[in-house]
C-alpha cells in the first residue's frame, strides 16, 4: 500500500484553457483528451477487485456476518471492541511485528552485502546474479515444503546433517521448538527472498558514476573510505525503499507459517493474517475477521505512508 495507490486523489481532468491561460468556456474537447478512456479498463479491474472489496469488507466488519453470507446483523463497532480485548489479536500481531523485525534487518543487510560482492566480482557476474536471485522465482509452497521436508527435519534433515558432520549432534526441533521455530521461518524467508533486495541494490550500485570513485582514489581514499563516504550515502534512497518494501512484505507473512508450522508450536509463530484466516474460515466469523483485518490494514497503511515522507524529507534536505 503506497501513496500512489492509496492516497492519490482521482486524476482531475485539467480544464481547457485559452492562450492567455483563462479557462475556456464551451470548448468541446475530444473524448480521448481526458485519458480516462485509456485507464478505464485498468480502473474497472481495480475497482472490482480492490476498491469494492475494501468497501464491502469495511461494511462486513460492522456486522455479525458469517461465512455463508447469510444472517449477519449490523452490530456497529462491537467487532472492533472485541478485537481490541482479544489477547489472540495482540499476540498474533506481536508475532507479525516480531517476524518483521527479525527478518527485515538480515534481508536488507545481506541483500546489500551480496550486491557489493557481485558488483566487485566482474568475473561471471551473471552466475552470481542468477544464483542469488533464482530462489525468489520459486513459489512459496515449493520453498516451504523444501525446507519443511528436506532441510529442517530433526536428525535426517540437511541442517542437522551438516551440524553433525562438524561433530555436533544437535537433534534440534527447528520448527517444533518454540526457541527456534520463528528463526527457522526467518532463515527460510531470507534464502527465498533476499534476491529481490540484492537486485535493487545492484541496480543502484551500477548507477553510481565511476568518476566519483576515481576522484576519491586520486585524493587517496582507501576502499573502506570509499564505501563509507560514497557508496553508502548514494545508496540511501534505495535503502529507504528496500527497508519499506521489506517491512511491508514481512508484515504480510502467512504462507511460510501456514505451511511450515501452522502457527505453532503453541501458537508462537501465528501471524495476524493466519488469525484472520482462522476466525473467518475455521470459525466462520467473517464479520469479526474483517474487523481484525482492518486493524491490521491501519498498521500497513501507516507503514506505507512513512516511505514517501522519508523520501520527501531527504529530497528537501538535498535541495538545501
Partner 1 sequence: MQPPLLSRRRALAGGAGVLAAAGALGSLTGCAAPATAAGPGQTLLRFWHLFGGGDGVTMQGMLDDFRTGHPDIALEASTLQWGAPYYTKLGMAGAGGRAPELAALHLARLAGFAPGRLLDPFDLDLLAEHGVREQDFPPDIWRRGQVGGKQYAVPLDTHPFVLYYQTEVCEKAGLMAGGRLKPISGADEFADALRAAKKATGQPGLVTETLGPDCITPWRLFSSFYAQTGGTVLSEDGKRLALDDAKALRVLEYLARLVEEGLMVRRVDYAGSIGVFNGGKTAFHLNGEWEITTFKTTGLPFSMTRIPALFGTAATQADCHAFVLPHQDDRGGAPNEAAHTLTAWMLQNSVAWAQGGHVPAYLPVLDDPAYLDLKPQSAYRAVIDDVALDEPAWFAGSASRMWIELGAVFSGVLTGSRSPREALNEARARLRTLLDTRNPLPGAAS
Under the binding rule (CB under 8 A), the answer on residue 226 touching partner 1 is no
Residues 93, 314 contacting (CB under 8 angstroms): no
Non-local CB neighbours of 226 within 8 Å, separated by 6+ positions: 213, 216, 217
Under the binding rule (CB under 8 A), the answer on residue 302 touching partner 1 is no
The distance of Cα 229 from the centroid of its chain, to the nearest Å, equals 29
Instruction: Tell me how crowded residue 93 is: count the other CB atoms within 10 A of its CB.
Output: 19
Interaction residues for partner 1, span 65-84 (CB under 8 A):
66-71
Interaction residues for partner 1, span 78-137 (CB under 8 A):
86
Nearer to partner 1, 57 or 113 (CB): 57
Backbone phi, then psi, for 300, in 5-degree steps?
Answer: -65, -40
Nearer to partner 1, 27 or 50 (CB): 50
What is d(CA 313, CA 307) in angstroms, rounded to the nearest whole number? Answer: 10
Residues 193, 187 contacting (CB under 8 angstroms): no
Give the residue carrying C-alpha cell 506505507.
Answer: 304
Nearer to partner 1, 15 or 314 (CB): 314
Applying CB under 8 A, the span of 109-117, 121-129, 224-232, 289-297 interacting with partner 1 comes to 289-297
Residues 194, 110 contacting (CB under 8 angstroms): yes
Q: Which of 76, 59, 60 is nearest to 68 (CA)?
A: 60
State which of residues 91, 129, 173, 180 lies at the interface with partner 1 (CB under 8 A).
Answer: 173
State which of residues 180, 226, 252, 310 lies at the interface with partner 1 (CB under 8 A).
Answer: 252
In whole angstroms, the minimum distance from the beta carbon of 78 to partner 1 comes to 10
Q: Applying CB under 8 A, which residues contact partner 1?
A: 1-2, 4-6, 49-50, 52-54, 56-58, 60, 64, 66-71, 86, 173, 176-178, 200, 203-204, 207, 237-238, 241, 245, 248-249, 251-252, 254, 261-267, 273, 276-278, 280-286, 289-290, 293-294, 296-297, 300, 304
Amino acid at each position: 500500500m503506497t501513496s500512489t495507490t492509496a492516497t492519490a486523489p482521482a486524476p482531475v481532468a485539467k480544464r481547457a484553457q485559452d492562450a492567455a491561460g483563462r479557462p475556456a468556456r464551451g470548448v468541446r474537447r475530444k473524448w480521448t483528451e481526458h485519458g480516462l478512456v485509456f485507464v478505464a479498463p485498468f480502473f474497472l479491474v481495480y475497482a472490482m477487485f480492490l476498491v469494492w472489496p475494501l468497501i464491502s469488507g469495511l461494511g462486513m466488519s460492522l456486522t455479525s456476518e458469517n461465512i455463508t453470507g447469510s444472517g449477519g446483523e449490523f452490530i456497529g463497532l462491537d467487532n472492533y471492541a472485541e478485537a481490541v480485548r482479544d489477547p489472540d489479536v495482540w499476540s498474533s500481531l506481536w508475532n507479525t511485528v516480531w517476524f518483521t523485525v527479525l527478518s527485515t534487518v538480515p534481508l536488507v543487510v545481506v541483500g546489500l552485502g551480496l550486491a557489493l560482492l557481485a558488483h566487485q566480482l566482474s568475473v561471471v557476474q551473471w552466475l552470481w546474479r542468477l544464483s542469488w536471485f533464482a530462489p525468489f522465482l520459486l513459489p512459496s509452497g515449493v520453498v516451504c515444503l523444501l525446507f519443511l521436508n528436506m532441510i529442517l527435519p530433526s536428525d535426517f534433515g540437511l541442517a542437522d546433517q551438516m551440524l553433525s558432520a562438524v561433530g555436533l549432534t544437535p537433534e534440534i526441533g527447528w520448527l517444533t521448538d518454540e526457541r527456534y521455530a520463528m528463526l527457522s521461518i526467518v532463515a527460510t524467508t531470507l534464502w527465498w527472498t533476499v534476491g529481490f533486495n540484492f537486485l535493487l541494490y545492484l541496480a543502484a550500485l551500477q548507477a553510481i558514476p565511476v568518476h566519483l570513485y576515481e576522484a576519491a582514489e586520486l585524493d587517496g581514499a582507501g576502499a573502506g573510505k570509499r564505501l563509507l563516504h560514497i557508496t553508502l550515502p548514494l545508496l540511501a534512497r534505495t535503502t529507504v525503499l528496500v527497508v519499506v518494501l521489506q517491512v511491508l512484505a514481512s508484515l504480510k507473512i502467512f504462507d511460510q507459517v501456514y505451511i511450515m508450522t501452522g502457527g505453532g508450536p503453541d501458537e508462537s509463530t501465528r501471524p495476524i493474517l493466519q488469525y484472520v484466516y482462522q476466525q473467518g474460515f475455521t470459525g466462520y466469523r467473517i464479520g469479526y475477521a474483517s474487523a481484525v483485518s482492518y486493524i491490521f490494514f491501519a498498521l500497513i497503511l501507516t507503514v506505507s505512508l512513512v516511505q514517501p515522507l522519508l523520501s520527501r524529507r531527504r529530497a528537501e534536505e538535498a535541495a538545501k
